[in-house]
Amino acid sequence: MRKYGKDGRLDCVICNRCGKKLAVKHGIVREGVFTSDHRWDFFSEKDGEIHHFDLCEDCYNEVTAEFRVPVDVEDEIELL
Ligand SMILES: [Zn+2]
């Protein structure tokens, strides 16, 4: 969950799963966070809804550890 100040700058990020408040400084999250902004489509029962949530890195690890099929991970190629 994200809260923004009156100036539109990110003020606060809270893990939706455990409630931990993540470190935010000058509008930037300073620790690992998984953010979902998922738009459900016509074929779902949530057509027209957009679901937003954030997970801290510990919760991300615990949630994805429950997957029967592991997350696909690839190394990001940094463009310098
Ligand atoms: Zn958490």
Residue 22 lies in a domain: yes
Give the model's confidence band at 79: pLDDT under 50 very low, under 70 low, under 90 confident, else very high: confident
Q: Report how far ligand 1's centroid is from the alpha carbon of 54 (Å).
A: 8
Residue 78 lies in a domain: no
Residue 19 lies in a domain: yes
Q: What's the domain count of the chain?
A: 1
Give the model's confidence band at 78: pLDDT under 50 very low, under 70 low, under 90 confident, else very high: confident
Which residues, chain by chain, have CB under 5 Å from ion ligand 1?
15, 17-18, 20, 56, 59
Residue 77 lies in a domain: no
What one-character DSSP code corresponds to residue 6? T
pLDDT mean over 3-24: 95
**In which domain, by residue range, is 8 found?**
2-65
61: left (phi over 0), alpha (psi -120 to 50) or beta: alpha
Encode pLDDT of 20-73 as tens digits.
999 999 999 999 999 999 999 999 999 999 999 999 999 999 999 999 999 999
Residue 54 lies in a domain: yes
Residue 80 lies in a domain: no
Q: Say how far apart CA 78 and CA 58 lie, in whole Å.
A: 25
Q: Report how far ligand 1's centroid is from the alpha carbon of 13 (Å).
A: 11
Q: Report how far ligand 1's centroid is from the alpha carbon of 79 (Å).
A: 31
Residue 39 lies in a domain: yes
Q: How far is CA 59 from the centre of its chain?
A: 10
Q: Report how far ligand 1's centroid is from the alpha carbon of 19 (Å).
A: 6
Residue 75 lies in a domain: no
CA 63 → CA 27, 33, 72, distances in Å?
A: 27, 13, 14
Sign of CA dihedral 19, 21, 22, 24: positive
